[in-house]
Amino acid sequence: MAKTIEQRLLELEDREAIRQVVAGYGYAVDGLNAQAVGECYVDDGVYAVGDIGKMEGRETIEAITRDPGHLKYVGAGCAHIATSPYIVLDGDRAVATCHTMVNMHGENGFFIGRLSASRIDLARQADGSWKITYRQNYMLNGDPAGSQLLGRLKEGPAAA
């Protein structure tokens, strides 16, 4: 059955809202805006970074903006950048798969300090906005976990 114009419009709006969340995190964390970082996540959201560990809960994730290591990166010049995500919608849940990187400044100019595969699970909120429930990153350093995560791009939210 063909989708109505209203259904198609809602899908486009959802995709754009999800892109805003994915991109907005990088700007917020580089701008040391803890509130904006937190607004990307649900209260009990999880940010799991393969080689670092899990940050659980909005307050813990917001604290990235006060972390001495992160402050050092920002002070030297860095940019958290996400590529345009591949989005799978499933009602009020969605998954965005993308590459994420941290570009950094050093004595010889800019370089990519981290390059990761990211799978970002999101949920529609009561107000219609989208927030991250679980974000998994794996470094793209030859560990097969990163490429395997990217290979799951068409798996929807039910495939945890």
Mapping DSSP onto H, E and C, the string for 2-60 reads CCCHHHHHHHHHHHHHHHHHHHHHHHHHHCCCHHHHHHCEEEEEEEEECCCEEEECHHH
Counted domains in the chain: 1
Q: Is residue 158 part of a domain?
A: no
**What CATH number is given to the structural domain containing 142?**
3.10.450.50
Q: Is residue 26 part of a domain?
A: yes
Q: Is residue 159 part of a domain?
A: no
Q: Is residue 101 part of a domain?
A: yes
**Which structural domain, as residue segments, surrounds residue 126?**
5-151
pLDDT digits (tens, 9 = 90+) for 112-152: 999 999 999 999 999 999 999 999 999 999 999 999 999 99
pLDDT digits (tens, 9 = 90+) for 40-57: 999 999 999 987 889 999
Q: Is residue 133 part of a domain?
A: yes
